[in-house]
Amino acid sequence: MRGHKISSDGLAELLLAAAESKKAWQPAKVDLRGKTTVADYFVVCDGETDRQLRAIADEMMDRARVEGVRPLAVDGYQEAAGWILLDFDSVVAHVFLPGERSYYDLEALWAASQKRRRVKPLRDGEG
């Protein structure tokens, strides 16, 4: 499939499917479009052990590679620190151990960003 350009939504769905195939717990796609320039989507999931985290990350990278996509950066894979981050530019995958996922709670953090504060316009002479 060389030359095939996968959309960011398609890549996020592909990474979700990869996570599910490795029995990841509660894989989720977080839509960040219009909220940040960091990425269009986060894919967030957790696994029971460091070994399972690596298996999930490996499957994500393998499936993306078939589509001609490679991560720009991989962090936490060698360290077995409970969190592997795969940066595919428009999609960032976070593969956590359960304690880290609940501590950082990325889904709730970005869901809260949907609540926009209303800004009152300045009156003449203010500012």
Domains in the chain, CATH or no CATH each: 8-112 (3.30.460.10)
CA-closest candidate to residue 18, choices 82, 81, 86, 77: 86
DSSP codes joined into one string, 53-90: HHHHHHHHHHHHHHTT---SEEESTTTT-SEEEEE-SS
pLDDT in tens, 96-105: 998 888 877 7
Q: Where are the alpha helices (DSSP H) in the chain?
A: 8-21, 50-66, 98-104, 106-112
* pLDDT in the model for residue 76: 95
* pLDDT in the model for residue 1: 38
pLDDT in tens, 5-40: 899 999 999 999 999 999 999 999 999 998 888 999
| Percentage of residues in the chain having pLDDT higher than 90 | 64
Residue 112 has pLDDT above 80, yes or no: no
19, 45 contact by CB (below 8 A): yes
Cβ-based neighbours of 20, under 8 Å, separated by 6 or more: 27
